[in-house]
Amino acid sequence: MHILVLAAQLIDLKKIFFSAPLIYGLLFLMSVAALTIWIYSLFTFRAKDFMPASFSKELRNLLQTDQYETALALCSSKNNLLSQIMATGLSTRQFGHQVMMEAMKSEAGRASTAFWQRLSLLNDIVIIAPMLGLLGTVIGMFYAFYDVNRSVESINALFDGLGIAVGTTVLGLIVAILSMIFYTTLKYRVVRSLSLVENEALSMSSLIGIKV
């Protein structure tokens, strides 16, 4: 109990927040945004969503039996990354293998743009958060040292104010570190999932007969 009281005396969170409400508010919103992107992406960046096992099996069976029109209709009726890539390949097979592969690569890049944009947002937070925190500290120090005619009491208050001002940098670094962790884990998942999809698409493309 005494420890909690002492901690409350040492750290007045309300006082700290209102020392730079705009900076702290922005950092709080950035932390919420980073956490939201991370949690949402954990449930969407999954290989089984990019290429459902049942769909892959059915499509492979159709390609092995040269039922390309049926395979194209199947891909068009589904909404996943593999179906989009394979639909492009089946639609362009009459132009030759080289054109078909280039079209599939282009479609893979286009379809995965949304995933990379989310990662880019996290990376932006990693860069902006510490800079925003440092800005809050610099502004706090500027106002603290603006009045050079100070008494001993005001000098003591000055150091208290500097301690509070440094809090924005601390929070900015915390937000940046957490966002970097989120970014790294999601990047690994995205790269791994996209690699699996691309390998599966490449394997299936070898089953597509070129229409001459």
For residues 136 and 18, the model is more confident at: 136
d(CA 19, CA 10): 16
Least confident residue range of 20-24, 73-77, 141-145, 147-151: 147-151
Domain range summary for the chain, segments of one domain joined by +: 20-45+115-202, 52-112
Show the tokens assigned to 172.
């900015």
- What pLDDT does 190 receive? 86
Give 38-94 pLDDT, tens digit per residue.
998 888 877 778 888 899 999 999 999 989 899 999 999 988 889 999 999 999 888
Please check the confidence at residue 13 and state whether its pLDDT lies above 70: no
Give 155-170 pLDDT, tens digit per residue.
555 655 666 678 888 8
Q: What is the 3-state secondary structure (H, E, C) of 186-203?
A: HHHHHHHHHHHHHHHHHH
Give the residue-averaged pLDDT of 124-138: 90
Give 103-118 pLDDT, tens digit per residue.
999 988 888 888 888 8
Confirm whether pTM is higher than 0.95: no
- What pLDDT does 114 receive? 82
- What pLDDT does 127 receive? 94
CA of residue 7 relative to chain centroid, distance: 35
Show the tokens assigned to 115.
């995933």
- What pLDDT does 6 receive? 42
d(CA 23, CA 178): 18
Dihedral sign (CA 116, 132, 169, 164): negative
- What pLDDT does 46 receive? 77
d(CA 45, CA 114): 11
Overall size of the chain counted in residues? 212
Q: What percent of the chain has pLDDT over 70?
A: 78
